[in-house]
Structures are given as C-alpha cells and as structure tokens.
C-alpha cells in the first residue's frame, strides 16, 4: 500500500487543529495570517500521515491546507484512499487511552486497511 520510492520525511506526528495556531501577519503584510505548529511528536515518517491526521478530527481550513501542500509538493495519486492507514495507529491509541468511543472508528480504519 505504501510501496513507493518516497523517502521518509520529517513530520509533525500529532497534527490536528489543537496543535495549529493562527497568528496575524507582520505589520505591512496584506491580509495574511501565519500558522504556528505546537506540541510536535516529530519523527521521520510518511508525509501523508500529517495530512491524514488533519482529516481525523476535522480542521476548518483543511481544503486550503491541502491545496497549498499540493501546490508545493503534490501527494502521490490515491492518497485519499490511504488516509485510514495513516489514522489507524492514532485511533488505536485513542481507543486505549480514552475508551470505547474510538472503537468504531478504529475498527473501520482497520477494515479499510485490511481490504486494501
């Protein structure tokens, strides 16, 4: 499923809306904001993982983030279908840590991965 020639990338590792702060741009800049990422679990991994984690809990500016990402370093075709693969470990950890509310999503992601 991840048989690609892409080398590991430095990823945030815990990228969700709560770990992204939006700040006003510096004085004189035209109506722009800057994002600041906090609380990283940085490691070398597949770059689709951070995008998949942004999808997991919802992210208000997700379309713009993905579009910007795609304009700079396009994701490999079919990346949307691999989202559950990249979400599985996070979901399993949440099931263990926070309870059965994560059971359904974890099993759904596992089923998707197994069917691939």
Residue 63: CB atoms within 10 Å = 9
pLDDT in tens, 10-38: 999 999 999 999 887 666 666 677 788 99
| Structural domains in the chain, sorted by start | 9-115 (3.90.1200.10)
Q: 66 phi and psi, to 5 degrees?
A: -65, -40
Residue keyed to tokens 């741009």: 25
Residue of 3, 4, 14, 50 with catalytic role? 14
Tell me, yes or no, if 4 is annotated catalytic.
no
pLDDT in tens, 51-68: 999 999 999 889 999 999
pLDDT at 28: 67
* C-alpha to C-alpha distance for 18 and 73, rounded to whole angstroms: 24
* C-alpha to C-alpha distance for 5 and 102, rounded to whole angstroms: 33
Which pTM value belongs to this model?
0.86
Residue 2 has pLDDT above 70, yes or no: no
């Amino acid at each position: 499923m991840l048989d690609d020639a892409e080398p590991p990338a430095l990823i945030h590792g815990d990228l969700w809306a709560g770990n992204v702060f939006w700040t006003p741009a510096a004085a004189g800049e035209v109506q722009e904001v800057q994002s600041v990422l906090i609380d990283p679990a940085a490691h070398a991994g597949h770059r689709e993982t951070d995008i998949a984690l942004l999808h997991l809990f919802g992210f208000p500016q997700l379309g713009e983030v993905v579009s910007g990402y795609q304009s700079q370093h396009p994701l490999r075709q079919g990346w949307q279908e691999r989202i559950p693969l990249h979400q599985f470990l996070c979901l399993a950890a949440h099931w263990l840590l926070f309870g059965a509310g994560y059971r359904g999503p974890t099993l759904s992601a596992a089923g998707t991965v197994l069917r691939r």
